């Protein structure tokens, strides 16, 4: 998913609930793109920085050098990254203890005679070793483009209503 979506989506949700903490919410939103730095390490994307052990270590460091509130903010952004990356092949949530990607194939389907589309989720578990066979775009995916369009629409509607 695109870095911009990883930052904007959780930050906008948090700003709606914590409008008093704008500075902290925006500053810590940078944690939302931290896991994607494993892109620059060969055969490591969605593995070494995309798991609960890595998140725990980062949150513990934030807690030690800062405070509990900032540790909660950083864990929120880091976990949001893993959730937004859930689309196939998913992420290696339990690496290095479980060397598989856990992800979902998400399809929007319509059933004959029913005009309302439905989401179909198929859980896919892929061995990490399989991921070396394909290369995926870090910056563009179907779901992320859809989220980005929704965010832009929401911002446009908000500003049109304000005027």
Applying CB under 5 A, which residues contact Zn ion? 35-36, 85
Minimum CB–partner distance for residue 2 and Zn ion (Å): 10
| Neighbouring-strand partners of residue 99 | none
- Apex CA 32: angle with CA 65 and CA 147, to 5°? 160
Q: Which is nearer to Zn ion, 114 or 142 (CB)?
A: 142
Of 14 and 92, CB closest to Zn ion: 92
- CB atoms inside a 10 Å sphere around CB 55: 22
CB of 77 to Zn ion, least distance (A): 12
Min dist. Cβ of residue 151 to Zn ion (A) = 18
Which CB atom, from 14 or from 32, has the smaller least distance to Zn ion? 32
User: CB of residue 40 vs Zn ion: minimum separation in angstroms?
Assistant: 12
User: Which of 29, 47, 51 shows the shortest CA–CA distance to 38?
Assistant: 47
What separation, in Å, do the N-terminal and C-terminal C-alpha atoms of the chain show? Answer: 33
- DSSP letters for 87-117: BTT-B-TTTTTS-EEEEEEEEEE--TT--S-
Q: Which is nearer to Zn ion, 36 or 87 (CB)?
A: 36
């Amino acid at each position: 998913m695109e870095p911009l979506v990883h930052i904007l989506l959780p930050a906008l949700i948090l700003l709606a609930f914590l409008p008093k903490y704008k500075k902290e919410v925006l500053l810590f939103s940078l944690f939302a793109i931290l896991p994607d730095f494993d892109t620059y390490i060969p055969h490591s994307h969605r593995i070494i920085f995309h798991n609960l052990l890595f998140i725990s270590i980062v949150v513990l460091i934030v807690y030690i050098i800062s405070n509990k509130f900032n540790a909660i903010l950083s864990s929120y952004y880091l976990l949001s990254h893993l959730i937004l990356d859930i689309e196939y092949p998913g992420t290696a949530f339990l690496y290095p203890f479980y060397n598989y990607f856990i992800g979902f194939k998400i399809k929007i389907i319509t059933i004959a005679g029913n005009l309302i589309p439905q989401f179909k989720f198929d859980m896919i578990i892929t061995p990490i070793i399989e991921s070396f066979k394909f290369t995926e775009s870090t910056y563009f995916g179907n779901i992320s483009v859809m989220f980005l369009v929704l965010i832009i629409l929401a911002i446009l509607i908000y500003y049109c209503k304000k005027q």
